[in-house]
Amino acid sequence: MYARRVWEIALTAAVLAVALAAAAGLARVGRRGVLGALALATVALGASASRPRGAPVAPDPFARVRPDALGYAGSAACHACHAPEHASWQRTYHHTMTRAPTPEALAEPCAASPASLTLDGVAFDLRCDAVGMSIASGGVERRVELTTGSHHYQVLWQTAPQGGALEPVPFVWLRRERQWAPRREMFLAPPGPDIYRVRWRSNCAPCHATSPRPGRDRRAGTFETDVAELGIACEACHGPGADHAAQMRSPLARERARRSGQAPTDIVDPRRLSAERASMVCGQCHAVAYPKDEDDWWTRGYSRSYRPGEDLRASRTFLTPETLSAPGGPSMDAPVASMFFRDGTLRVTGRELHDVLASACHVRGAGDRQLSCLSCHSMHRGEPDRQLTPDREGARACASCHEPSRYESPAHTHHPESARTTCLGCHMPRTTYGLLGAIRAHRIDAPDVARGVATGRMNACNLCHVERSLAWTASALGRWYDRPPARDLPDDVSAVAWSALTGDAADRALAAAALGELEGRDPSRERAWRAAVLTRLRADPYAAVRRVAERALARLGPGAHADESRPLPAEVALPRTADGALDVGALDAWQRARDDRPVFLAE
């Protein structure tokens, strides 16, 4: 059914400069400068399509699906006994993580084809036929060989002109906007040409397929990549299931297992693992790590060094500011400050394991009251968008340990019940960047201005009260929770507006996202000054920041325009002219002081 050909690609081994790696949108790590194979996206296993007589032959998926030599049976083998779980998994974006380029997988982008697109003066013509899509440019036509992404945007892969490697098409399909966009604009990376050079086999397969093996031949510089299954399938979380499927094929064996009430020992149920080991099942992809045996990884991936239920740290080194600065440790071309706040919290989405394990709810918890990924998320019960367990949405996950009558009351929150203040809003603020927006942090802690200043993390209070200063927040927290007073904080500077205009690219993107949130606010008082700040970000040198700002302006509604002559509301901590209007010159000065150090966040 899948590819029978052996494709070979030249190993990408050129060492890029820090700024170039930043522009690439991918952290390259390694003691020998090896490309880090830890990119995240959302993509799936597609079904074959029947081919009309005389139609072009559909290309085989680029990654070969191997036989079950390593004990993998494939998700189809699970269906007979676990039909409800199989059906719920099929609804997820993990299932559609990577797909063959079938008409079903390409339905949305093909609906917008043919399309004629231009990038840097080069024309690209995208056309669909009965079995897939082709891209013509410079007199050369190539087929789409694979597709990744089915949630936010879709990446298409084509064979490179030389060496047979899979390289991404320069445009991606945005699902929300239902339009094409240059791929390089999807990543928070310094401006410049598209030098984000990635290869499916080494960069993307590790987190976009089940049990991938790069299959590198070091001498020949070629690859024979294979996977157990395209997409994140059953065995990625439950372990290889060929032996289990063979044993349970007998109805008598299934009945004996049911009567005994004992779970088969050869299949892993993450719910039965400790909080740490259960989280590590997710951390196979949702962590930033480097293989401890680099040579073995290039050949076999993690197919032999890790199985679900084991300690992830036995097969890989978690990358942190400490491990990256240790003598002889892994290195990363992107500046460490690009990826981490000063306390080691990650600035980019998709690496949540680090922050879950660092949260007080995990460190101080024990047994059923110890935080894990499964404390909130479920592959089989949650809605596909966020995979939240239905009875654990909002504050209900917190209520398993924290008494709601105490912590949801105005006596604790110091907000009226009508304000919709939630546990997540205060303790998991949107300080993580990803997917052209702001995402909740997974390092759970309490708002603290002093800690935020020390670490570089914006606190939850200011991300909601975007008009207020850090001094205002510190004063409120001091009154409510007996915190020591903060010193030397300006009281006339909106912390979010300041970050939007003076911060580094990641700060600017997060601030822009916050300025677009109007829930519970009077738009007539808020739109003009927020639009004045956001409009300045429409000319930001980082394409991703520009896109976040555009989305934020759209959320402000049709009445959002930068009317800088209107008097500012009294509570807005921004510089003013004598007549109370926004001091445009002061904002211009802030923007001239912008932190232009290169920032690259590898999603």
- CA separation for the pair 458, 345 (Å, rounded): 12
> Has residue 402 been placed in a domain?
no
Whether residues 102 and 221 fall in one domain: yes
How high is the mean pLDDT of the chain?
Answer: 85
Token pair 């738009």 in the structure block, residue: 523
Place of tokens 């009445």: 559
Quote the percentage of the chain above a pLDDT of 70. Answer: 87
Same structural domain for residues 228 and 88? yes
Mean pLDDT of 334-338: 84
Distance CA(522)–CA(507), nearest Å, equals 25
Q: Looking at residue 163, what is its pLDDT?
A: 63
Q: Output the pLDDT for position 317.
A: 94
pLDDT tops 90 at residue 9: no
Q: Does residue 305 form part of some domain?
A: yes
Q: How far apart are CA 407 and CA 178, in angstroms?
A: 42
- Asked if the model's pLDDT at residue 51 lies above 90, the reply is no
More confident residue, 418 or 446: 446
pLDDT tens-digit readout, 404-418: 888 988 999 999 876
Query: How large is the angle between the packed helices 495-502 and 523-537, nearest 10 degrees?
Result: 20
Answer whether residue 422 is part of any domain: no
Question: Does 197 map to a domain?
Answer: yes
Give the residue among 555, 565, 570 at the shortest CA–CA distance from 523: 555
Q: Tens digit of pLDDT for each residue in 547-588?
A: 999 999 999 988 777 777 889 999 999 999 999 999 999 999
> Is residue 279 included in any domain, yes or no?
no
User: Residue 357 falls within a domain, yes or no?
Assistant: no
Helix (H, G, I), strand (E, B) or coil at 501: helix
Is the pLDDT assigned to residue 15 strictly greater than 80? no
Helix, strand, coil % in the chain, rounded to nearest 5: 35, 15, 50
Say what the pLDDT of residue 2 is.
31
Q: Is residue 356 part of a domain?
A: no
Which of 44-48, 371-375, 396-400, 419-423 ranks highest by mean pLDDT?
A: 371-375
More confidently predicted of 381 and 68: 381
Residue pair 144/106 in contact by the 8 Å Cβ criterion: yes
Same structural domain, 50 and 185: yes
Count of alpha carbons within 13 angstroms of residue 161, beta-carbon side? 7
pLDDT reading at 276 higher than 90: yes
The distance of Cα 461 from the centroid of its chain, to the nearest Å, equals: 24
Identify the pLDDT of residue 194.
58
Query: What integer pLDDT is reported at residue 41 of this predicted model?
Result: 30
- Examine the fold and report which residue of 317, 334, 351 is the final residue of a domain before the chain moves on: 334
Amino acid making up residue 291: P
Q: Is residue 345 part of a domain?
A: no
Same structural domain for residues 302 and 447? no
Q: Where are the alpha helices (DSSP H) in 421-494?
A: 423-427, 449-455, 460-464, 470-481
pLDDT of residue 27: 35
For 71-109, the pLDDT digits (tens) are: 999 999 999 899 999 999 999 999 999 999 999 999 999
Return the pLDDT at 136.
97
Grade residue 53 by pLDDT with cuts at 50, 70 and 90.
very low
51 versus 398: the higher-pLDDT residue is 398
pLDDT in tens, 320-329: 999 998 888 8
Tell how far CA 321 is from the center of its chain.
Answer: 20
Q: Which SS3 state, helix, strand or coil, does residue 257 take?
A: helix
Which pLDDT band, with edges at 50, 70 and 90, does 391 fall under? confident
Q: What is the pLDDT of residues 297-318, one digit of tens each?
A: 999 999 899 999 999 999 999 9
Range of the domain at 169: 1-272+289-334
Secondary structure class of 432 (helix, strand, coil): strand
Structure confidence at residue 10 (pLDDT): 28
Choice between 200 and 485, residue whose per-residue pLDDT is larger:
200
Q: 319 and 433 in one domain?
A: no
Residue 444, φ and ψ in degrees, nearest 5: -80, 120
Same domain, 330 and 432: no
In the structure encoding, which two tokens stand for residue 402, read together?
A: 């924290």
Q: What is the DSSP letter of 394?
A: G
Cis before 214? omega within 30:
no
**HEC string for 514-570:** HHCCCCCCCHHHHHHHHHHHHHHHCCCCCHHHHHHHHHHHHHHCCCCCCCCCCECCC
Which tens digit of pLDDT belongs to each residue from 460-497? 999 999 999 999 999 999 999 988 777 788 888 999 99
Report how far apart the first and last C-alpha atoms of the chain are (Å, whole number).
31
pLDDT at 344 over 70: yes
pLDDT of residue 110: 97
Distance, in Å, from the CA atom of 428 to the CA atom of 449, rounded to the nearest integer, reads: 15
The length of the chain is: 603
Instruction: Give the number of other CB atoms < 10 A from CB of residue 571.
Output: 11
For 353, residues 6+ apart whose C-beta sits below 8 A from its C-beta are 279, 280, 282, 283, 286, 287, 312, 318, 373
**Number of domains present in the structure of the chain:** 2
Over residues 120-173, the pLDDT tens digits come to 999 999 999 999 999 999 999 999 999 999 999 999 999 877 666 788 999 999
Pair (180, 47) in one structural domain = yes
Q: Collapsing DSSP states into helix, strand and coil, what is residue 344? A: coil
3-state secondary structure of 155: strand
Q: What is the pLDDT of residue 160?
A: 79
Structure confidence by residue, pLDDT tens digits, 245-274: 988 888 888 888 888 877 667 899 999 999
Report whether 527 contacts 534 (CB < 8 A). Answer: no
The candidate with the shortest Cα–Cα distance to 120, out of 19, 24, 192, is 192
Q: Which residue has the higher pLDDT, 490 or 115?
A: 115
Q: Tell me the three state secondary structure of residue 183.
A: helix
Give yes or no for residue 11 having a pLDDT over 60: no
User: Is pLDDT above 90 for 449?
Assistant: yes
What pLDDT shows up at residue 263?
62
The confidence score (pLDDT) of residue 292 equals: 93
Q: Please write the tens of the pLDDT for every residue from 19-43.
A: 323 333 333 334 333 323 333 232 2
- pLDDT above 80 (res 60): no
pLDDT > 60? residue 17:
no
Cβ-proximal residues to 270 (8 Å cutoff; 6+ apart), any chain: 237, 238, 278, 281, 308, 309, 374
How many whole angstroms separate alpha carbon 600 and alpha carbon 394?
A: 31
Nearest-angstrom CA–CA distance, 258 and 243: 18
